[in-house]
Structure formats: structure tokens, C-alpha cells
Amino acid sequence: MGERLNGVLLLGFGGPEGPEGVEAFMTRLMKGRKPPPVITKVQARYRQIGGKSPLLEITRAQAAALEARLNQLGGSWKVAVGMSNSAPYIEEGLKELIAAGAGQVIALSISPHYSRITTGAYLAEVDRLKEQFSCPVIPAPAWYDHPLFIAALAARGREQLQDFERPEEVELIFSAHSLPVSYVSGSEADPYQEQVEVTARALAAHFPANPWTLAYQSKGGGQGEWLGPEVEEVLEQLAAKGKKDVLLIPIGFAADHIETLYDIDIEQANHARSLGLNFRRARAVNDLPLFISALAEVVTEVMKR
């Protein structure tokens, strides 16, 4: 009789792969309501990054690398991808693992920091679906402070830092996705902001010579206050102080997608250049082996419980 198969469901927000998928994606986000006219702007952004987002391709590469690493460490493993708002959906990922014979599934969010609209929503969907299946589904904890994740972020930062003439004088910006302040305050506050700050401080320890600032990006519309400062504000403050060299390290994203390739590489980079700054961005951790090892350790720790 063969060894029992363990499953890992890699959970993500999802997103359209290109301009043609934007309307369907936003309709799902709005729970069937007609999406606003802003979709034409979003479609234009996808065209400006080459007409395609690499998010799903990168997430599948992460899943394949994680599966290989777990099997290397021992046991029998299969890793599938399940997205909250685009194919392959969470239900499809679960069905794939069950069909493969998984005796249990570990639900692992690819979002480093916990928020009710990311990891919380993914796990709620898993919880809703798991009644359909006989196999147990175990949620993995957030991994925002895992030493290997922090080391992977630092490695990505060093890739770019070495290209500056005076690396030790480069101003660092650590960026994460903004959220409404109402989400991180009150009796039911998400731990999101606190976790982001822990990641930032841990990463800063890898660059003791460099001044750094935590900033937020890609905030949505609507009323109410959002987490700040925004990246654009920080760029303006640095330029006003006479700083020249700036490296942005995205700490809130595990994969490059529209919010790194457009929001940072086009919008923020153009703003930085208009201020006279020499601006660069570190790549997301993507399928960097250090990062995959971090995820593998998170999974194996769950198995030890």
C-alpha cells in the first residue's frame, strides 16, 4: 500500500490575465453587479504591461517548486492552486487535490500578511467548501515574519542595490498594499498593519547602513481614510530632502503582477523620475528558492502539530 498523499492548496486573490478578462473579473469582485466605467482604465493598464499579467504563471511555478521541495524533504505531496476571484478557483484546486487522492489538505495563503479581504476570505471559502469533501483541510498560519521569507526579500533587494553607485546611501522604501484604516482599527481589527510593520523591521535589519521608510500603495477608491503614507508622498519627501537614489522593495506581494508592473514600474517610477530621483524596484520573491523553502517550512510545521 502506498504512502498517503498530502495536499497543499496555494490560495491567492487572483486577477485577469489580460485586458479581455478585466470585465468578468471585476463583475465577480462586485458580486454580479455591473462594473464601473473604470474598467477601461484597468484594461489600458494591462496593455501597458504587455497585455498580460504573469500572476497565474508565477503562482503555478511557486506551486510546482513547493511540491518538488516538499517531496524532496520526505513524504508524498501534491500542490494545487486555488484563486478567490479568477480561475483556477478555490473549489477547482480542492477538487484537483481530492481527485489525486489527498488524505488531507493544508490551505496556504500566498498573501504574507493577514487581512479579512485576502487570507480571511480565502479561508472562509475553503471552510464553506470543505463540507463537500471527506478529507480534512488545515489552515496554515501567516508567514510574514518567517526568517527565510525575510531573507528572500533581502536577496531581491541586494540584486538591485548593487547596481547603484553608492549602495550604502540608497534610500529604501518597503511597500505593501494599502487598506482602509477601518479594517485595522476597532474591536475586530485585522492584524494586517502590525504584521506589515514586523516584516519591514525584520527586512531593515538586513540593510543596517540604509535609511528606510514603510509606505503603502495601490489604494482603492471610495470614502474614508486609507493606510499611509503613500509611496508617492514618500518619494516627494525624499526629493525635498535632496536624496537621489531610491530602491523600492515590495514586501506585501509574493508575485509580480499588475500592482508591481504597473503601479510601481510605471506610475511610481514616472513620478520618481519627475522628481529627479534615480528609482529602481526589487523583483517580488516569485519562485526564488529561499522563498519556496520558507513556504515548505510553514507547511511542514503544520504537519508537526
Same domain, 32 and 91: yes
Question: Number of structural domains, the chain?
Answer: 2
pLDDT value for 38? 77
Same domain, 151 and 237: yes
* pTM metric for this prediction: 0.95
Q: Are 270 and 37 in contact (CB under 8 A)?
A: no
What is the SS3 assignment for 78-146?
Answer: EEEEEECCCCCEHHHHHHHHHHCCEEEEEEEECCCCCCCCCHHHHHHHHHHHHHHCCCCEEECCCCCCC
Residue 19 pLDDT greater than 90, yes or no: no
Residue 259 pLDDT greater than 50, yes or no: yes
Please give the residue range of the domain that contains residue 200. 147-281
Q: Stretch 80-107: mean pLDDT, rounded?
A: 95
Higher pLDDT, 247 or 15: 247
Q: Are 283 and 87 in contact (CB under 8 A)?
A: no
* Measured distance CA(161)–CA(156) in Å, rounded: 9
* Measured distance CA(167)–CA(23) in Å, rounded: 43
pLDDT value for 175? 99
Same domain, 177 and 111: no
Looking at the chain, the whole-number percentage of residues with pLDDT higher than 90 is 80
Q: Which tens digit of pLDDT belongs to each residue from 273-282?
A: 999 999 999 9
* Measured distance CA(250)–CA(200) in Å, rounded: 10
Q: Stretch 96-105: mean pLDDT, rounded?
A: 96
34 — pLDDT class (breaks 50, 70, 90):
low
Q: Who's near 259: CB < 8 A, 6+ residues apart? A: 177, 217, 218, 253
pLDDT value for 29? 74
Residue count (the chain): 305
Mean pLDDT rounded to a whole number for the chain: 94
* Measured distance CA(253)–CA(61) in Å, rounded: 15
Question: Cα Rg for the chain, rounded, in angstroms?
Answer: 20
Residue 2 pLDDT greater than 70, yes or no: no
Same domain, 201 and 272: yes
Q: Stretch 25-51: mean pLDDT, rounded?
A: 80
Q: Which tens digit of pLDDT belongs to each residue from 208-251?
A: 999 999 999 999 877 789 999 999 999 999 999 999 999 999 99
pLDDT value for 27? 79
Same domain, 200 and 295: no
Q: Supply the CATH number for residue 82's domain.
A: 3.40.50.1400
pLDDT value for 117? 92
Q: Binding site for Fe-coproporphyrin III, residues? A: 45-46, 53, 122
pLDDT value for 1? 43
Q: Which tens digit of pLDDT belongs to each residue from 52-72?
A: 889 999 999 999 999 999 999
Same domain, 263 and 135: no
17 — pLDDT class (breaks 50, 70, 90):
confident
Q: Stretch 109-115: mean pLDDT, rounded?
A: 98
CA distances for 282 relative to 51, 73, 156, 175, 224, angstroms: 22, 30, 6, 11, 31
Higher pLDDT, 21 or 32: 21
pLDDT value for 35? 66
Collapsing DSSP to helix, strand or coil, 245 comes out as strand
Same domain, 197 and 112: no
Residue 26 pLDDT greater than 50, yes or no: yes
Same domain, 211 and 86: no
Same domain, 153 and 139: no
Q: Are 66 and 79 in contact (CB under 8 A)?
A: yes
Of the ranges 36-40, 44-48, 239-243, which is most confident? Answer: 239-243
Q: Binding site for Fe(2+), residues? A: 177, 259
Same domain, 266 and 138: no
Same domain, 42 and 117: yes
43 — pLDDT class (breaks 50, 70, 90):
confident
Q: Binding site, residues? A: 45-46, 53, 122, 177, 259
pLDDT value for 33? 73
